[in-house]
Structure 1
Amino acid sequence: MDGICTLGNDYVYDQLVALLNSIDAILGKDIPVCIYPFDEKLDLIRAEIANRPNVQIFDDQASIQRWDEFMVEASPASLNREKYRIYGGHRRFCAFDGPFDRFIYLDADTLVMNSLADVFAKLDEYDCVVYDFQHLYPDKVYNVNSEKLFSVFPSELISKQIFCSGFYASKKGLFPPEKIQELVSYLRAGEREILYSTGDQPVVNYMFMRLGTEIYNFAHHLPENMRTGCSVTSKHFVERDNILFDKGNRLTYLHYIGVPPNINQAVCRGENIEFPYRDLFLHYRYLHEPEKRPVFTTPPKPYDAPLPNRWQRAMQKIKVLMKG
């Protein structure tokens, strides 16, 4: 069985609803969806999916624990020491144990923009299929200053195989316990140093590449005049009927990378904060309840406005005191 996977908790509720609604609109309401729990805060999500019979929350605690333990080995810096627990982004890896034989994983802060049939079709030939341009930025996946890096992976592999963990297609069963232990042995032998910082993206790249999985990236194979971007950092996309196009080509998905969930929360509460392709997000967020879409009554402000420095905050406090 094929299905769509994502990762979430109540903090990304608004983004997750927009994603689910885009799946409804573009792929249909019958395609199975599995949400992997970032943590235990899922009350809003449980209520939301009560009327979505195609959507389930993954609850295999043995799988969750297995991947938690692996992440400690792979990226101990990702341990949230304030709460003495693992930062939950890696729990998307539970999809390798999940209900779907073949799956496409999408981050909660994405919108489906097109059929994903071509992506699933490529899984007939490959075990990992992606569509992004992360390979242009290898320093966000691997420690390019590590002397060990290029003894583990040839430079041509680095330039071709790296991908963004926000969208990828793969298959159940690729990482059974013996494969995980093989990876752990490499990490304990010193290969942990080749990973960039913390988080799931370096780790999932390492998982596939270290075990020799060939990764198919549409960005490498489509003709240049047919390739599209996928990130809201691209300002030139054109919207038609709530779908984005890149130089005439329909996007496969849109990733709101760099727009933190608290911005979406504030906008859904009615705060007039601008971010790229905001109206598109709001269209899908309120697709099934347009009457709840916020109406803005204050001037807009940019989502990435710099925070006030210490002097500016002090002046703001003085002004408040003077008014009092």
Structure 2
Amino acid sequence: MKRGIYITANDKVIDTAIACLNSIRLHDPDTPICLIPYDDNYQIVAARLQQDYGVELYPDLDFIERLSQNLHDIFGTGFFARPNQFRKQACWFGPFERFLYIDTDVVVFSPIVNTLDALDQFDFLCYDYQHNGGIENVFTPKVLTEGIFTENELLDIFNGGFWASKRGLIQESDLYETFRECAAHPDYFDFSQKTSDQPIINYLILKRISRRFNLVRQAGGGPGNWAGTRHFQYDGMKLIDPSVGKPLDYLHWAGFRIAPGCPYWDIWAHYRYLRTPEERPLEPATAGTQAPFLLRQFKRSFSKLRRG
């Protein structure tokens, strides 16, 4: 298959997966979507997503298990807070020639697979303002002082929840070699906020794929997409970034527990119950406010994603 979308999920995140798939299928009923199980507890979410949205299970589950175990073993037990995030590396070897990977704590506002059009000119795409916050949550200053990357190269760091590329650009041996390099120099990476795959995949891409492009650098500037950004304006159940005068293509709740009180909760709930509005539960009166503990969390840990 030429183009498709990968997601990872397990039964625990079935609600976020449903919201994500409702938003994708609203704009795009046909693009193939493939589920990479996050762990062994995926049967319920896989059945629901296949029945309602035509999502297919990754065709080689034994490969996912072997790949993730090998990558995990390179660093050793207990090193990563969430080692199963590395299962998404199976994207490089799946059925799609050109693919988009998105986390399920995302809703989209457009036919999001169209972002793959830019792969006519590039080999890797991302779409966020992670770089505006510097290298925190990805690298430590040692990557500069020891000449691993230049300051210009570090402008290409990205969030691991939304990226696109081409099958076969990264080989299985490339992954193992890169992981061994990273395991030999853990002091190059910032795991202080319990990130797992994001520092390593940034190292992988910056070292091995030169034709990369961040879609926020499109002509006229691209819109933001992080739910911690406060200046987005509503257009129904979509959002506009007034700083560039463009609608958002997607919204990502990176770093948030999606629940009443979180930013843009009304938008997430709209897409979660888009097909089943009768199932939407009554919400507390405080649902439209920002919970103070969440504000402290995202200001401390995810300020880098805020645009500008």
Using structure 1 for the length normalisation, give the TM-score: 0.80
Amino acid at match of 2:225: C
Q: Conserved in 2, the CA contact under 8 Å of 1:242 and 1:283?
A: yes
Is the counterpart of residue 207 in structure 1 residue 204 in structure 2? Answer: yes
TM-fit CA distance, 1:157: 0.5
Deviations 1:11-36 (A, max 9, x none): 2111110000000112x221111111
C-alpha distance in structure 1 between counterparts of 2:84 and 2:172, whole Å: 20
Partner of 1:222: 219
* Shift in CA distance, 117/40, structure 1 to aligned 2, threshold 3 Å: closer
Which of residues 223, 231, 238 in structure 1 aligns to 2:226? 231
Percent same amino acid at aligned positions? 28
Whether the 8 Å CA contact 2:35–2:55 is kept in 1: the answer is yes
Q: Does 1:275 align with 2:262?
A: yes
User: What SS does structure 2 have at the residue aligned with 1:164?
Assistant: coil
Which residue does the alignment assign to 2:85? 89
Q: Once the two structures are superposed, what CA deviation does each residue of 1:219-268 show, in whole Å capped at 9, x if it has no partner?
A: 234324xx2110111112122232111114110110012222xx44xxxx
1:48-67 aligned at under 5 Å gives the runs: 48-52=48-52, 54-58=54-58, 59-67=60-68
Measure how far apart 1:123 and its partner are: 0.8
Partner of 1:242: 237
Tell me, in whole angstroms, the C-alpha distance in 2 between the residues paired with 1:74 and 1:142.
17
Q: Identify the residue that residue 45 of structure 1 maps to in structure 2.
A: 45
- The one of 107, 123, 139 equivalent to 1:111 is 107
What is the alpha-carbon distance in structure 1 between the residues aligned to residue 45 and residue 267 of structure 2? 21
Q: Who is 2:304 aligned against?
A: none
Structure 2 counterparts to residues 174-323 of structure 1, below 5 A? 174-187=169-182, 190-197=184-191, 198-224=195-221, 227-247=222-242, 248-260=245-257, 263-264=258-259, 273-296=260-283, 299-300=286-287, 304-306=291-293
Displacement of 1:212 in angstroms is 4.0
In the alignment, the residues of structure 1 paired with residue 203 and residue 121 of structure 2 have an alpha-carbon distance, to the nearest angstrom, of 21
Distance 1:288 1:108, change over 3 A: same
Q: Do the aligned partners of 1:149 and 1:194 also contact (CA within 8 Å) in 2? A: no
Equivalent residues of 1:75, 1:199 under 8 A apart? no
Given that 2:74 and 2:180 are in contact with CA atoms closer than 8 Å, whether structure 1 keeps it comes out as no
Letter in 1 for 2:8: L
Pick the structure with greater CA Rg: 1
Which residue pairs with 1:312 in the alignment?
none
Task: Supply the distance in 2 between the matched residues of 1:153 and 1:4 (Cα, whole angstroms).
Answer: 30
Q: Which stretches in structure 1 are left out of the alignment for 5+ residues?
A: 81-85, 265-272, 308-324
Aligned to 1:310: none
Output one character per residue of 1:112-163: Cα deviation in whole Å (capped at 9) or x when no partner.
112335521111121111111111231211112x2676421112101x2101
Check the 8 A contact 1:112/1:252 in 2, yes or no.
Answer: yes
In the aligned structure 1, how far is the partner of 2:197 from the partner of 2:225?
19
Change over 3 Å in CA distance of 1:149–1:121 after alignment to 2: farther
How many residues are aligned here?
A: 286
Correspondences of 1:12-23 after superposition (within 5 Å): 12-23=13-24
Alignment correspondent of 1:24:
25
* AA matched with 1:25: L
Structure 1 vs Structure 2 CA RMSD = 2.4
Please, what TM-score do these two structures have when normalized by structure 2?
A: 0.84
Moved segments of 4+, more than 6 Å: none
Q: Which runs of 5+ in 2 are unaligned?
A: 295-308
The CA deviation string for residues 205-225 of structure 1, in whole angstroms up to 9 with x for no partner, is 11111224332012234324x
**What does residue 135 of structure 1 align with?**
131
Q: For residues 172 and 290 of structure 1, what CA distance do their matches in structure 2 show? A: 38
Shift of 1:183: 1.8
CA distance in 2, matches of 1:127, 1:191: 27
Where 1:216 maps in the other structure, the secondary structure is strand
- CA drift of 1:43 comes to 3.2
Residues 124, 212 of structure 2: 8 Å contact kept: yes
Q: 1:205 to 1:75 in 2, by over 3 A?
A: farther
Aligned pairs for 1:162-173 (under 5 A) are 162-173=157-168
Distance, in Å, in 2 between the alignment partners of 1:301 and 1:240 is 17
